[in-house]
Amino acid sequence: MSNKTTKEGNQINEGRAGFLARLNALETVVLAGILLVALAGLMLIGKGFYMKAKAEVSQVLLKRSFQAQLLGETDVKPWPWADFSTEAEITAPRIGKTAVVLSGTSGEALAFGPARLANTPAPGELGTSVIAAHRDTHFRWLKDVKPGDLLIITRKDGANLTFRAGTSRIARWDRSGINADAPGRNLVLATCWPFDATEQGPLRYIVNAELVPDAGQTTLSALDNPVQLPVKSF
């Protein structure tokens, strides 16, 4: 290293030391606070990129697992230690979004994709099937679904079902008004609200949809004791 380079480096260090020396106690605390906020911001940004990258990579493995189920394989898991399995695929053609739906709404399942609430029927069965996902990853597109949009569900047994989106609403998780035993063959997609919030709150964004009936489908009657289903697990 040349004497010139060494001298320039010493001057830079002296300049930094001189700057810090000119700060009073209050200014030093303010500067430290700014640096901590900047560091926290960088950590949050990094976490956000990590969550989105994990969501994208996991969907590749989930799709492979789901395709294996469509081919007739049983007890297929996306990775050996997963505590869930794939059971359907949902597609919103107008906005070009597709995601694999998982079984159960455990914390691990929701970290990797939308999941069907275990106490609701499978899509296309009698009642209301509820699929939930996080607002910042797999159901971020839910806000773009409009009344009349088609939602395609492919179940692991190969059944292809078409639902038509209806109204959307915002409700508390414990006052969702979702009836798992409602008449007809219904689908509810749910996520946390508002979409731009950074912390989980009590409100949920709910999209209702109904199965597009095939010719000759029978009319279903309501059950005597409908169940009001709270939606808290996402």
90-111 pLDDT tens trace: 999 999 999 999 987 666 678 8
CA pair distance 127, 116, nearest whole angstrom: 13
Rounded to the nearest integer, the mean pLDDT of the chain is 78
**Residue that the structure tokens 């939602």 belong to:** 151
Alpha carbons 133 and 131: distance in angstroms, whole number = 7
Cβ neighbour number for residue 213 with a 10 Å cutoff? 13
This prediction has a pTM of: 0.69
Evaluate if residue 224 carries a pLDDT over 60. no
pLDDT in the model for residue 2 = 54
Overall average pLDDT of the 19-24 stretch:
56
pLDDT per residue as tens digits for the range 165-220:
999 999 998 999 999 999 999 999 999 999 887 777 899 999 999 999 873 333 33
Residue 210's DSSP bridge partners are 164, 186
pLDDT at 230: 61
Question: Is residue 108 classed exposed, middle or buried when 0-12, 13-18 and 19+ CB atoms within 10 A define those classes?
Answer: middle
User: Which pLDDT band holds residue 20 (cuts at 50, 70, 90)?
Assistant: low
Between 56 and 33, residue with greater pLDDT: 56
Q: Inform me whether the pLDDT recorded for 72 exceeds 80.
A: yes
What are the structural domains, with CATH classification, of the chain? 51-229 (2.40.260.10)
